[in-house]
Amino acid sequence: MVARKPLIAGNWKMNLNHLEAIALVQKIAFSLPEKYYAKVDVTVLPPFTDIRSVQTLVDGDKLLLSYGAQDLSANDSGAYTGDVSGPMLAKLGCTYVAVGHSERRQYHAETDEVVNKKVRAAIKHGIKPILCVGEQLEVREAGGHIEHTTGQLIAALKGLKADQVKEVVVAYEPVWAIGTGRVATPADAEEVCAALRAALSDKYGAELAEATRVLYGGSVKSGNIAELVACDNVDGALVGGASLDGEEFTKLCALAAGGPLP
Ligand SMILES: O=C[C@H](O)COP(=O)(O)O
């Protein structure tokens, strides 16, 4: 069994201007001692307008956390008003980009086909997609959550070769748990994360599946991260609200690393 290093990704969503972004990254850098990074990878996903400021700070101070974006265009350049491309994000040093977040699917009508194109665009430009999948409450209540999430995963990876899929981080985010305070139980998270890994194994082989990080997201906080990452198939978290508070996010990262609190 491959030991997977947990990843904590802070998705800031549409919060914080570039000055507030600098203050938050400085707070995390100051509060989380370097030794923790041996046991946990930490990344932040600020809005596009903040990325250049975060890059300058991370590079200038040689910080150990990485950063990325919350979305990218499926296209490399051209007449796509308002979009930001993979080459632009790569030039800004982005390590990760979230793709297929339920808020993009809901408010921007992103289909599995669009998500597939975006996953390809990210990989093409050397950026690791954090591919989000997750079911609505009614799907879970009808018992269709495994079929729904594994279906989204396989559709988003359609046509990709194994050496491309190995760049992907998967994030299971049940829509009913996002921003609601209603966190999935560790057993719920483990069930779906294990099923996603099994789907990867069926399609791309056990070695790739064992090496792939599968995160959980949805109302993750310092109070529940330890029990989530204790699950065999949960390799970290995609954190929304709690990633906007430097102290809380630092605690959460330290606990994902196995503690103690700094
Ligand atoms: O990307 C993060 C998720 O949507 C979770 O957000 P939340 O932690 O605010 O529930």
Ligand 1 pocket, CB under 6 A? 11, 101, 173, 178-179, 217-220, 238-242
> At residue 118, does pLDDT exceed 80?
yes
Residue with tokens 């399609």: 203
Average predicted confidence (pLDDT) for the chain: 96
Query: For residue 219, which atom of ligand 1 is closest to its CA?
Result: 10
Has residue 53 got a pLDDT over 70?
yes
| Cα 83 to ligand 1 centre (Å) | 23
Q: Is the pLDDT of residue 1 over 80?
A: no
Phi, psi of 171 (to 5 degrees): -125, 120
Element (H, E) at 200: helix 186-204
- Integer Cα distance of 44 and 30 in angstroms: 15
The pLDDT assigned to 253 comes to 98
Residue 3's pLDDT band, with cuts at 50, 70 and 90, is confident
Nearest CA to ligand 1 atom 8: 240
Residue 2 has pLDDT above 80, yes or no: no
Annotated ligand binding at 12? The verdict is: yes
| Among 236, 218, 211, CA closest to 226 | 236
Q: Tell whether residue 219 is among the known ligand binding residues.
A: yes
Structure tokens at 122: 């990210």
Euclidean distance between CA atoms 147 and 117, whole angstroms:
22
Tell me, in angstroms, the distance from the centre of ligand 1 to residue 162's CA.
29
pLDDT tier at 262, thresholds 50, 70, 90:
confident
CATH code given to domain 7-256 = 3.20.20.70
Tell me the CA–centroid distance for residue 252 and ligand 1, in Å.
14
What are the sequence ranges of the domains in the chain? 7-256
Pocket test for ligand 1, best of 239, 244, 245, 249 (most atoms within 8 A of CB): 239
